[in-house]
Amino acid sequence: MNLIDIGDSILISRLESLAKAERELLAKVLHHLREVERRRLFAELGYKSLHDFATKHLAYSDDQAYRRIAAMRLLKEVPEIEQKITSGEISLSHISLAQNLFNQERKYSGKIFSKEQKQEIFSQISTKPIREAERITASMASQHIPAKPDQIRIVTEEKVELKFQASRSLQDKIEKLKGLLAHKKPNIQLGELFEQLCDIGLKQLDPGKVATSRKQCGINKNSNAEVRREIFRNAGNKCQNCGSTHALQIDHIHPKAKGGLDTKENLRVLCRNCNQRAAIKEFGVGKMELYLKV
């Protein structure tokens, strides 16, 4: 594209049109993301989450994916925001800032913002520069809220750097643990300590080793803990569709609601997303939407 010969005013007006088209396109992207999530299509394609799909399939960066998903969730709840996005009155940065505040408050203080409150916050921050908007949302946050989200940075193929904010009480507990381990492992590093704690946790919670309630695994009284362990063991303690190890559930390949049995041959391990996608394929998204929450 050669722009050298076009006049100044045409250059500016073209750029204005492009920026407008870009914002309109963004709103369309958000609607499409929403529908992919509603259908759990990312699971069908073998991705562990919508974020995984957005980064690997759509080639967004982590941050770009995060912001778009945050905006998409907000658009679903507050459709009026679309007009602000297309007019350029509000940016993705502002939206993810506000969404962070809503999520963190819900998580740490149990506070739920109403749609009207959210709209009010957006009208307060929308026209402000991002630093000013950050200051406003920070002033609305409770004291417990960590200032930054957790961070994982790949250092080498074998090593990662984990960064997270924690409470003073966690620090105290770490010091106590270090003290208890001091005779065996003086000067234990945090990474090694957390690895040991994770091993203990996994031993207790690993679904392949410990039977949880029948209600949780969805198998009736005819099945038993041994069947459940075997299903998980055979699946390598991973989702058999996407490989995720998060929120694993036992799924009936031929659904129970359609007469599927609790036999080993009819059971498999799926993560929650893949399980929901399987149900959507079987029963339709309209029907499943009544049961599923996004």
Binding residues (CB under 5 A) for Zn ion: these are 239, 241-242, 244, 271, 274
Complex with Zn ion: residue 211 or 239, whichever CB lies closer: 239
Residues near 115 by Cβ (< 8 Å), separated by ≥ 6? 77, 78
CA distance 96 to 76: 14
Residues near 266 by Cβ (< 8 Å), separated by ≥ 6? 252, 253, 254, 260
CA distance 206 to 229: 10
Rg (CA), the chain: 24
CA distance 100 to 206: 31
Complex with Zn ion: residue 98 or 242, whichever CB lies closer: 242
Complex with Zn ion: residue 33 or 274, whichever CB lies closer: 274
User: 218 with 193: CB under 8 angstroms?
Assistant: no
CA distance 44 to 46: 5
- CA neighbor of 68 nearest in space, from 114, 31, 105: 31
Smallest separation, CB 288 to Zn ion (Å): 16
Smallest separation, CB 272 to Zn ion (Å): 8
Complex with Zn ion: residue 178 or 238, whichever CB lies closer: 238
Smallest separation, CB 244 to Zn ion (Å): 4
Complex with Zn ion: residue 67 or 277, whichever CB lies closer: 277
Count of other CB atoms within 10 angstroms of residue 39: 17
- CA neighbor of 37 nearest in space, from 72, 78, 74, 77: 72
Smallest separation, CB 269 to Zn ion (Å): 9
Complex with Zn ion: residue 91 or 241, whichever CB lies closer: 241
Smallest separation, CB 57 to Zn ion (Å): 15
34, β-bridge pairs: none
Complex with Zn ion: residue 242 or 279, whichever CB lies closer: 242
The structure tokens 């999520």 sit at: 103
Smallest separation, CB 242 to Zn ion (Å): 3
Count of other CB atoms within 10 angstroms of residue 187: 8
Smallest separation, CB 268 to Zn ion (Å): 11
Smallest separation, CB 270 to Zn ion (Å): 6
Beta strands 160-163 and 151-154, pairing class: antiparallel
Complex with Zn ion: residue 95 or 239, whichever CB lies closer: 239
